[in-house]
Amino acid sequence: MQQKIKEIELILEQYQVEMQQNLCKLLQIESVLAEAGESCPFGVEIGRALDFVLGLAAGWGFVCENDHGYVGLVDWGSSDFQIGVLTHIDVVPAGSGWQTDPFCPRIIDGRIVARGAIDDKGPLMAVLYAFRAIKESGVALPVTLRHIIGTNEENGSQCLAYFLKHHTPPAISFSPDAEFPLIHGEKGILQCALLPDLTKAGETDGSSQVEDMILRWAKGGTAVNIIPDEAEACLKLTTRGKELFLQAYNQFEDKDGIAYDEKNGEVLVHAIGQAAHGSLPDSGYNAVALLLRFLSCLPLSGANGKYCRDIAHLMAYANDGGGLDMKLSDEYSCLTAAITMLNIKEIAVKDQESYAMMDMRFPVSMAGESIINKLHAGTAAYNIVLGKCLLKEPHFLPVHHPLVRQLLMVYKNITGDDSPPLVIGGGTYAREMKNSVAFGPVFPGEVSLAHHKGESISCENLLKLAKIYAVALCLLADMPKELFL
């Protein structure tokens, strides 16, 4: 096997430039969630990206299937025992602030820069070439290798739910959609809407009152799992209201991130932050939270004013759940909670069109039902009700699990790094499978640029990823199957 592994690595080195070129072609496709098309449940561009990848694999002699646009399958082997690799073709919206076109990839200082480069198209391409090198080496593996390519990972993973309903999951698998050396635990995820509670007695929308300062609308955020980098609000002010606004602005501690412009008797307020992945809220600067902190300092009238103050108190001052009385932790990690989307309209509180979206990540030792109960308790004193929630329970494999041990050994042998496995706040496909972990692609010491402007992947690391995944698949295939049955 060791001789075959060396041959596989040499094959991958020969394909290094071609792999970069095909990745750049894939990155040009703006595979962001959009309106469904024929056989494209999550948008035509996502379908086009999936067809491109399956076309490459089919041209190399693999058995490929596009299952109604939900998942793509690339198979090698005929055994009933499958080893799976799970990647995804969809990406989050590009956002603003890029130095280059996010869907026109460029190689800058040895890095391929484009949306999706590290999350998850770069790793996807590395896996595809790992499969190709294994096949071309002629090594006889007593298993079937299956590359499962999802299309909706960034927006609820309906693709994987479809896969699990229509296909038998692999006996063991990994997902290159997180960090090295290995992720053996993923925190629970709770994403839900915080809505104004119109059943409670309290302030009206103020339509019959004389107000100095009315919030006409406020908005920010592009996706529930992205820390937003921009947010805006529009205020209608009287002459006295303008004086109160300027007084509050001058006293606001974080006004460096706030700009405003007056036009036609209205003031447009703009908050600037820094985007980040929702699982790492402290790695960015939340523009929606900043805007809410500022708005809560203003004497806003009516129900919208109270809604802003309530949401700000609960969510805008820290990312540790403290405002919700949910500052929780275990031996592996702490709870995080961030407000990631906001949409307030002048009279929409009457029909609950106004909403704020929350992204919470909770420790692996805790159950989702308990977290939801605590969230209800934490919002009970406010005019807030929980809207639709997306809950994913934590996922955890112990360090002595054979899959964990083997992948750590492969990683150490190739990189020399003996770091312990990690627990993260991010969610990957691994949590949906038995005997599954997240494995790469971000190396220790690297800054993860997933969901950030300027997202990129190192050309050198792209090759290294392909080698790591090829070796891992070969050595996993050699392990006794009864360890995982």
CATH number of the domain that residue 290 is part of? 3.30.70.360
pLDDT at site 208: 38
Confidence of residue 485 (pLDDT cuts 50, 70, 90): confident
Residue 344 and residue 221 share a domain: yes
Domain boundary among the residues 373, 392, 411 is at 392
What average pLDDT does range 105-118 have in this prediction? 97
**Rounded to whole angstroms, how far apart are CA atoms 270 and 257?**
8
**What pLDDT score was predicted for residue 200?**
61
Per-residue b or e along 51-61, where b marks 16 or more CB atoms closer than 10 Å to that residue's CB: bbbbebbeebe
Q: Are residues 409 and 475 in the same domain?
A: yes
Residue owning tokens 């609960």: 314
Can you tell me the mean pLDDT for 286-309? 93
Which tokens sit at 272?
A: 């600037």
DSSP alpha helix (H) spans, 361-458 = 368-379, 402-415
Chain segment 334-370, per-residue pLDDT in tens: 999 999 999 998 754 444 578 999 999 999 999 999 9
| pLDDT classification of 467: cutoffs 50, 70, 90 | very high
Do 178 and 205 belong together in one domain?
A: no
Residues 347 and 426 both lie in one domain: no
Q: How far is CA 316 from CA 213, 287, 292, 301, 324, in A?
A: 21, 10, 7, 20, 11
Q: Is residue 153 flagged as an active site residue? A: yes
CATH of the domain at 479: 3.40.630.10
Number of compact structural domains in the chain: 2
The sign one gets for the Cα dihedral 151, 152, 153, 154 is positive
Same domain? For 386 and 476 the reply is no
Q: Are residues 80 and 52 in the same domain?
A: yes
The mean per-residue pLDDT over the stretch 174-201 comes to: 89
Span 79-103, pLDDT tens digits:
999 999 999 999 999 988 999 999 9
What's the rounded mean pLDDT across residues 307-332? 95
For residue 180, what pLDDT band results from cuts at 50, 70 and 90? very high
CB within 8 A of 109, min separation 6: which ones?
none
Report the share of the chain in percent with pLDDT over 70: 96
Q: Show the domain range for 146.
A: 2-187+395-484
Point out the domain boundary residue: 392, 422, 454: 392
Q: Which of 359, 392, 425 is the last residue in one of the domains? A: 392
Crossing angle, helix 122-137 and helix 459-477, to 10 degrees? 50
**Pair (406, 354) in one structural domain:** no
Same domain, 127 and 227: no
Average pLDDT over residues 150-162: 94
pLDDT tens across 259-296, in order?
999 987 799 999 999 988 899 999 999 999 999 999 99
Quote the pLDDT of residue 207: 39
CA distances from 289 to 285, 321, 478 (A): 9, 13, 51
CA angle 272, 276, 278 (to 5 degrees): 115
pLDDT tens profile 207-246:
334 478 899 999 999 889 899 999 999 999 988 989 999 9
Q: What is the mean pLDDT of residues 28-39?
A: 95
- Note if 90 is an active site residue: yes
Q: Do residues 137 and 64 make contact, with C-beta atoms less than 8 angstroms apart? A: no
The gap from C-alpha 54 to its chain's centroid, in whole angstroms, comes to 24
Residue 419, pLDDT > 60, answer yes
Mean pLDDT of the chain: 93
* Residues 69, 47 contacting (CB under 8 angstroms): yes
Q: Give the 3-state secondary structure of residue 404.
A: helix
Phi/psi for 55 (5° steps) reads: -65, -40
Q: What is the pLDDT of residues 368-404, one digit of tens each?
A: 999 999 999 999 999 899 998 999 999 999 999 999 9
Query: What is the per-residue DSSP string for 253-267?
Result: TTGGGEEEEEETTEE
Do residue 387 and residue 407 come from a single domain? no
Two tokens at 45? 């561009």
DSSP H helical ranges for 316-458 = 368-379, 402-415
177 and 31 within one domain: yes
Q: Is the pLDDT of residue 204 over 80?
A: no
| Same-domain status, 318 and 182 | no
Residue 109 contacts residue 10 (beta carbons within 8 Å): no
Among 395, 359, 162, CA closest to 277: 359
> Which is the catalytic residue, given 30, 45, 120, 153?
153
pTM score: 0.80
State residue 156's pLDDT score: 83
User: 30, 45, 90, 205: which one is catalytic?
Assistant: 90
**What pLDDT does 223 receive?**
87
Task: State yes or no: pLDDT of 201 exceeds 50.
Answer: no
